[in-house]
Amino acid sequence: MEVNEVGKSVQKKFTSFLSDKPMWVFWITYSILSGILFGIFYAAMYLMAQLWWVPVIVIIVIGMIWGTLAYPKEAQKLKEKK
Protein backbone atom coordinates (compact mmCIF):
# COMPACT_ATOMS: atom_id res chain seq x y z
CA MET A 1 0.00 0.00 0.00
CA GLU A 2 1.46 3.32 -1.04
CA VAL A 3 1.41 6.53 0.96
CA ASN A 4 -1.11 8.08 -1.44
CA GLU A 5 -3.52 5.18 -0.95
CA VAL A 6 -3.24 5.45 2.82
CA GLY A 7 -3.90 9.18 2.65
CA LYS A 8 -7.00 8.67 0.51
CA SER A 9 -8.40 5.96 2.81
CA VAL A 10 -7.85 8.17 5.87
CA GLN A 11 -9.51 11.07 4.08
CA LYS A 12 -12.55 8.92 3.32
CA LYS A 13 -12.82 7.73 6.92
CA PHE A 14 -12.42 11.14 8.52
CA THR A 15 -14.44 13.36 6.25
CA SER A 16 -16.80 15.64 8.08
CA PHE A 17 -20.14 14.17 9.04
CA LEU A 18 -21.64 17.49 7.99
CA SER A 19 -20.39 17.30 4.43
CA ASP A 20 -23.16 17.22 1.82
CA LYS A 21 -25.76 18.24 4.41
CA PRO A 22 -28.04 21.29 4.19
CA MET A 23 -27.05 24.48 5.98
CA TRP A 24 -29.80 24.10 8.61
CA VAL A 25 -28.16 20.84 9.83
CA PHE A 26 -24.90 22.71 10.29
CA TRP A 27 -26.60 25.47 12.29
CA ILE A 28 -28.46 23.02 14.53
CA THR A 29 -25.26 21.07 15.18
CA TYR A 30 -23.35 24.29 15.82
CA SER A 31 -26.02 25.50 18.27
CA ILE A 32 -26.09 22.21 20.17
CA LEU A 33 -22.29 22.01 20.45
CA SER A 34 -22.09 25.65 21.50
CA GLY A 35 -24.72 25.06 24.18
CA ILE A 36 -22.89 22.00 25.51
CA LEU A 37 -19.56 23.82 25.64
CA PHE A 38 -21.19 26.85 27.27
CA GLY A 39 -22.67 24.60 29.94
CA ILE A 40 -19.35 22.90 30.62
CA PHE A 41 -17.42 26.16 30.86
CA TYR A 42 -20.18 27.81 32.91
CA ALA A 43 -20.08 24.95 35.41
CA ALA A 44 -16.29 25.12 35.59
CA MET A 45 -16.34 28.88 36.18
CA TYR A 46 -19.05 28.47 38.83
CA LEU A 47 -16.98 25.87 40.64
CA MET A 48 -13.86 28.03 40.48
CA ALA A 49 -15.60 31.25 41.52
CA GLN A 50 -18.27 30.19 44.00
CA LEU A 51 -16.93 26.90 45.24
CA TRP A 52 -13.21 27.61 44.86
CA TRP A 53 -12.31 24.85 47.28
CA VAL A 54 -13.70 22.04 45.07
CA PRO A 55 -10.92 22.24 42.42
CA VAL A 56 -8.33 22.46 45.20
CA ILE A 57 -9.63 19.28 46.81
CA VAL A 58 -9.85 17.54 43.43
CA ILE A 59 -6.22 18.44 42.63
CA ILE A 60 -5.06 17.20 46.05
CA VAL A 61 -6.97 13.92 45.66
CA ILE A 62 -5.60 13.38 42.15
CA GLY A 63 -2.08 13.95 43.48
CA MET A 64 -2.61 11.49 46.32
CA ILE A 65 -3.94 8.82 43.96
CA TRP A 66 -1.14 9.42 41.45
CA GLY A 67 1.48 9.21 44.19
CA THR A 68 -0.06 6.08 45.64
CA LEU A 69 0.01 4.36 42.25
CA ALA A 70 3.54 5.54 41.41
CA TYR A 71 5.15 4.67 44.77
CA PRO A 72 5.30 0.85 44.37
CA LYS A 73 6.89 1.15 40.92
CA GLU A 74 9.59 3.54 42.18
CA ALA A 75 10.18 1.45 45.30
CA GLN A 76 10.73 -1.64 43.16
CA LYS A 77 13.16 0.23 40.87
CA LEU A 78 15.17 1.37 43.91
CA LYS A 79 15.14 -2.18 45.29
CA GLU A 80 16.44 -3.56 41.98
CA LYS A 81 19.28 -1.00 41.89
CA LYS A 82 20.54 -2.12 45.28
Q: What's the pLDDT score for residue 72?
A: 86
What integer pLDDT is reported at residue 11 of this predicted model?
65
Q: Say whether both 47 and 58 belong to one domain.
A: no
Q: DSSP secondary structure string, 8-76?
A: HHHHHHTS-TTTT--HHHHHHHHHHHHHHHHHHHHHHHHHHHTSTHHHHHHHHHHHHHHHHHHHHHHHH
Together in a domain, 44 and 72: no
Are 25 and 47 members of one domain?
Answer: yes
Are residue 1 and residue 35 in the same domain, yes or no?
yes
Residues 66 and 44 both lie in one domain: no
| pLDDT average, residue stretch 48-66 | 89
Mean per-residue pLDDT for 36-61?
89
Whether residues 36 and 1 share a domain: the answer is yes
When divided into structural domains, the chain yields a total of: 2
The residue-averaged pLDDT of 24-43 equals 92
- pLDDT tens, residue by residue, 6-21: 666 666 665 677 777 8
So what's the pLDDT on residue 33?
Answer: 92
In terms of residue numbers, what domain contains 56?
52-82
Average of per-residue pLDDT across 40-63: 88
